[in-house]
């Protein structure tokens, strides 16, 4: 029996065999650039074709034939190099069609730059050395942080056992009676109950400075969609509830656009800045407030899965949306990001991926005002590919 496909990091064109034949998956700008490098630096390599998910077979780009992935023989003796976004879904797709290995050019191996440019990984030894340096200092600061937490909060209190399988009685609810594909990728994202985040003016100022320089979080292009949405739907002078927060980055984004952010989280966050107020979910339930607008980035898809210490509940995401609706003033907007695909999927205990069945349930009670990065046609063409759009919803 053949083994699973291997994904090799391509740090240099020299890593490709002498005289090999290569198919480039992705006929966009980076694919064209990579082809140029092959032609100039490795003339012994034969570039066979561009593979693509969305282009039909028969065209040519830079003189190279274009072949739709469904028409290509992946068992042929050709090296595959992914020069496109969505490395993970592409790799799974070509493995299903018979590929046994592929190459991914490496640009950056760790950090925010990797997430921003994960479709264009190039460069090398310098990058690898820097990555090793980052890992070294990451360990140094981890132990310094741990020592400070022990000194300030005391030894970490234990969490209860993590729920790593969906209880039988809840399976139907989580899979929507079998309409939602289920896979497991269990992770423990919980912090000790006696450890809390502390937001300070210094961190807020750092976030604002990085935003001004055009930097982003691990979500990369999504941050650009958030800025665009807040420019087209102004929040200046308005109270904005920020649901889900492990860093004051999106609170700083709200400040950058003139809003007054209020963080809402399951666990308590200590705010040492006058610019950000913090509340727990329980505090908000006990003493409800109203907000002009709300913002939630990569949060509600985790609710009810237990990875962050929340109770196991198949409909906790829908309940969270109902709670937001009840806290918004009439006409209030919710700037919402959740992962979407054409087909619904649950990755327990990581996240939900919202398809054509569950996404309408999530939007219940809201009117869709605008969307950014949402393309149903592209989703339908690649039904299991995950996208990260931004929706602007109005309380109806």
Question: Three-class SS of residue 166?
Answer: coil
Fold of 169-395: Rossmann fold (3.40.50)
Strand pairing report for 345-348 and 239-243: unpaired
148 burial (CB, 10 Å; 0-12 / 13-18 / 19+) is: exposed
Furthest-apart CA atoms within the chain: distance in Å: 71
Do the domains at 6-125 and 169-395 have one common CATH topology? yes
Supply the pLDDT for residue 330.
Answer: 96
Work out the number of other CB atoms within 10 angstroms of the CB of residue 2: 6
Residue 287 neighbours by CB under 8 Å, 6+ apart: none
pTM above 0.75, yes or no: no
Whether the Cβ atoms of residue 8 and residue 102 lie closer than 8 Å to each other: yes
Q: What is the DSSP letter of 72?
A: S
Supply the pLDDT for residue 111.
Answer: 41
DSSP bridge partners of 22: 47, 79
DSSP per-residue codes, 308-340? TSPPP-TTHHHHHHHHHHHHEEEEEEEEEE--B
CATH architecture of residue range(s) 6-125: 3-Layer(aba) Sandwich (3.40)
Compute CA 327 distance to the chain's CA centroid, rounded to the nearest angstrom.
26
DSSP bridge partners of 279: 264
Whether the Cβ atoms of residue 42 and residue 13 lie closer than 8 Å to each other: yes
DSSP bridge partners of 18: none
Compute CA 150 distance to the chain's CA centroid, rounded to the nearest angstrom.
31
Q: What is the mean pLDDT of each run of 10 residues along the chain (396 residues)?
A: 66 84 91 92 95 88 93 91 83 87 66 42 48 72 89 94 96 97 93 93 95 84 90 97 96 98 95 97 94 98 95 97 97 97 96 97 97 88 89 96
Work out the number of other CB atoms within 10 angstroms of the CB of residue 390: 25
Question: Three-class SS of residue 113?
Answer: helix
* Tokens at 209, concatenated: 């400075």
Domain boundaries, the chain: 6-125, 169-395
Residue 248 neighbours by CB under 8 Å, 6+ apart: 199, 203, 204, 207, 263, 276
Q: How far apart are CA 339 and CA 351, in angstroms?
A: 8
* Tokens at 116, concatenated: 């921003």
DSSP per-residue codes, 234-265? --TT-EEEEES-SSTHHHHHHHHTT-EEEEEE
Q: How far apart are CA 18 and CA 46, in angstroms?
A: 10
């Amino acid at each position: 029996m053949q083994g699973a496909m291997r994904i090799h990091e391509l740090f240099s064109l020299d890593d490709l065999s002498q005289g090999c034949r290569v198919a480039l998956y992705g006929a966009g700008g980076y694919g064209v650039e990579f082809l140029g490098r092959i032609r100039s630096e490795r003339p012994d390599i034969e570039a066979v074709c561009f593979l693509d998910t969305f282009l039909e077979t028969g065209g040519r780009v830079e003189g190279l034939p274009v072949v739709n992935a469904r028409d290509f023989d992946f068992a042929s003796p050709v090296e595959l190099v992914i020069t496109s976004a969505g490395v993970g879904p592409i790799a799974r797709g070509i493995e299903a069609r018979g590929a046994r290995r592929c190459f991914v050019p490496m640009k950056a191996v760790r950090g925010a730059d990797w997430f921003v440019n994960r479709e264009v990984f190039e460069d090398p030894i310098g990058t690898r050395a820097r990555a090793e340096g980052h890992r070294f200092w990451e360990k140094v600061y981890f132990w310094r942080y741990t020592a400070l937490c022990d000194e300030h909060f005391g030894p970490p209190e234990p969490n209860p056992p993590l729920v790593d399988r969906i209880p039988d009685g809840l399976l139907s609810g989580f899979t929507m009676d079998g309409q939602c594909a289920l896979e497991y990728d269990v992770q423990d994202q919980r912090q000790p109950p006696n450890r809390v985040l502390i937001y300070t003016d210094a961190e807020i100022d750092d976030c604002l400075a990085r935003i001004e320089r055009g930097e982003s979080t691990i979500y990369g292009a999504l941050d650009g969609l958030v800025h665009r949405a807040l420019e087209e739907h102004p929040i200046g002078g308005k109270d904005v509830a920020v649901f889900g927060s492990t860093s004051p980055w999106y609170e700083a984004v709200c400040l950058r656009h003139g809003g007054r952010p209020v963080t809402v989280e399951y666990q308590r966050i200590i705010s040492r800045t006058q610019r950000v107020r913090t509340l727990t979910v329980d505090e908000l339930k006990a003493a409800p407030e109203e907000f002009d607008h709300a913002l939630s980035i990569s949060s509600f898809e985790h609710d009810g899965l237990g990875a962050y210490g929340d109770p196991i509940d198949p409909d906790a995401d829908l309940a969270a949306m109902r709670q937001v609706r009840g806290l918004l003033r009439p006409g209030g907007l919710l700037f919402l990001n959740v992962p979407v695909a054409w087909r619904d999927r649950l990755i327990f205990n990581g996240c939900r991926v919202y398809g054509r069945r569950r996404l309408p349930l999530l939007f219940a009670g809201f009117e869709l005002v605008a969307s950014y990065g949402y393309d149903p046609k592209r989703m339908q063409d690649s039904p299991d590919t995950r996208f990260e759009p931004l929706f602007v919803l109005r309380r109806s």
